[in-house]
Homo-oligomer: A and B are copies of this chain.
Amino acid sequence: MTERKEFRDLAEPDAARDAIASLDLVPEPESVPLAEARGRVLAERVDAGIDVPGFDRASMDGYAVRARDTFGADEADPVELDLVGAVHAGATPEVTVESGTCAEVSTGAVMPDGADAVVMVERTDESAGGGDGTDRIAFRTSVAPGDHVMAAGADIAAGARALGPGTRLTPREIGLLSALGVDEVPVRGRPRVGIVSTGDELVRPGDELDPSSGEIYDVNSTTIAAGVAEAGGEPVLYPHAGDDYAEMERLLREAADECDLVLSSGSTSASAVDVIYRVIEERGELLLHGVAVKPGKPMLVGRLDRADGGESAYVGLPGYPVSALTIFRTFVAPAVREAAGLPEPRTATVEGRMAVRERYGEGRLRLMPVGLLDLGDETAADGPAGARERPLVYPVDKGSGATTSLVEADGVVAVDPDTEYLEAGEPVTVQLFSPDVRPPTLLGVGEDDPAVNRLLDRLENPRYLPVGSREGYRRLRDGVPDVAVTAGPTDREVDDVVLGEWRREWGLVVPADNPEGVEGLADLVDRDLRFVNRPTGTGLRRGLDDALEDLAAERSASPGELTERIDGYVLTLRAFESPVRRVLAGDADAGLALRETAERLDCGFVPLGEQPVAVRAAADRADREAVASLADELDDDGIATLIEGIAGYSA
């Protein structure tokens, strides 16, 4: 086994932050066309180069006059002036307004010489022409000099400070820059962040995967690249490096030459980490190795030499996806944003309250993955108006290797090394995985079921954890989720409300045309068939075990005697479709499945029974808007459309 680096002297998290802050990621400013400037940050102050407007501008449709000529005019006693011409927006005035005359102007027109005010058309009348054929206009109001005229430079004058350095360009700033005629905007550069993923086992999404040789798709590269872009950086993906020193060195140096920051991520194996460690030590400088944080202990911080004599910053992220994203979000994204000149978005954190008591005591900072559920309660009347009760926060701990934690958790809570407990109800700050993460409005748990999947598609932003009927019902009792879906009988007492119910047919999936002639459970027990099961706690398994109990009773045997004789009884697969796929692949002769799945995937099916599937809301959540929307989908019509065309389903 490769000699491995021990993380004996773990750095404190603040030291890691300081080390990263000591690296220089700030790229050169650049100039971008105005049309591409949205979201960028001004590198320098922009002063107005021109007066806006560039001329004295009529700000109403009407008549340009000498204000003095209108003095005394009112509805009862209008003043009449000779109309000597017209000026439209975008035209050079070809008329001068002398005393006693006026000129028609449209909004935006240049004020003709001599005129110093505009009378809006609504307060005028075309009058009878004078004897000489000229038109005359009657004015039913008087105006003061400057009325309805915007003087040149009155909006913003040439030389005035328009926008300061560090301003983020949103549509309105783009509008002001347009008014100034700016079409190339000096902005902060986006730090280029190279991502080198390591590990022989990684395959790019879209490429062919060979699971038998342990290949998996590379999750970290794309996740971190998206995180870099979100933080205002420009991600650059490099090809995978294996555990080979020369190849790793070549890739890291290439990335260092081209980027402000290089991140490595991907492999969790110590040998790949060792190779990186050596490259950094030999081709740069290692500032820090190992941080007292969970997850993220193997984090590296350093510098890489460039061919041009300069340096690039380097951070090594842990290998598991949730760990990598957590460390990126906590330590690296702030540095990328800082280099890009962007503040942390206001939506990057959420103030929540613990839904459950959580124990901790590992003596290092824990970045605990958590899910959020916003119950949308109004707070007490004495809080700030419109403020809401903090959302519920519950720990998500599927092990750091689980990719699904990425979407089952919404962010992390930093738990201090000295904290032993977080109490239920205790306020906590959740660092969201992304400012765009939108915590779900409804949390469901329970049985994995195709009609449930269809139901979820009809809801706005739900979260559903298919933990099985038994565990789902247990969680409902413990008070975190809104809803549990159970299949088959329930054994507990929970204060719940059934929102809707349907029935589903279950049995054995067998290859098409049932080549082994399987007729029922007895065949599994008595014949040499390879079986695949579902986990304890699922409704399907409960159905199977109840049926096996009946069979055992018939035979005056114990259920255990029967199950011992089923080859594969202990082989449980996680999703309702998995046993069917196993049979399809020829790796099993029979599996526990729904008629729906067997028929949809063109397999044979041996029916064993029907069971009810119930959608149950916690009684104290039944009035929530999101639960009410769910209930609406589960009225008689709703259930009819929900199960329509699903084989073996009935209301």
Contact = CB atoms under 8 A, between A and B. Distances in A.
B181 A205 contact: yes
Nearest to A93: B214
Nearest to A271: B106
Interface string A151-174: 111111111111111111011111
Contact of A153 (B157, B175, B573): B573
Given A89-B200, A104-B1, A171-B433, A581 B384 contact: no
A230 B37 CA distance: 12
A346 interface: yes
A52 interface: yes
A493 interface: no
A272 to B, nearest CB: 8
B157 A577 contact: yes
Interface in A89-125: 89-92, 104, 106-110, 121
Contacts of A599: none
A110 B213 contact: yes
A634 to B, nearest CB: 17
Contact of A45 (B4, B213, B453): B453
Given A157-B578, A403-B156, A182 B205 contact: yes
A219 interface: yes
A379 interface: yes
Q: Which of A91, A159, A174, A389 has the most CB of B within 10 A?
A: A159
Contact of A89 (B165, B199, B453): B199
Given A157-B574, A404-B176, A171 B226 contact: yes
A239 interface: no
B224 A404 contact: no
A575 interface: yes
A361 interface: no
Shortest Cβ-Cβ A-B pairs, 10 listed: A54-B211, A159-B577, A183-B206, A90-B201, A90-B200, A157-B575, A175-B223, A170-B434, A171-B226, A172-B406
Contacts of A390: 384-385
A457 interface: yes
Interface stretch (A8-16, A285-293, A461-469, A472-480): A461-469
For the residues of A in contact with B, the DSSP-based class is loop
B267 A108 contact: yes
A420 interface: no
A59 interface: yes
Given A57-B214, A462-B164, A205 B177 contact: yes
Size category, A interface = 35 or more
A225 interface: yes
A179 B110 CA distance: 63
16 contacts: A53-B216, A55-B212, A57-B216, A57-B401, A90-B201, A90-B202, A91-B214, A107-B269, A108-B268, A155-B401, A157-B577, A161-B464, A171-B434, A175-B226, A182-B206, A386-B427
A272 B171 CA distance: 24
A564 B380 CA distance: 66
Contacts of A586: none
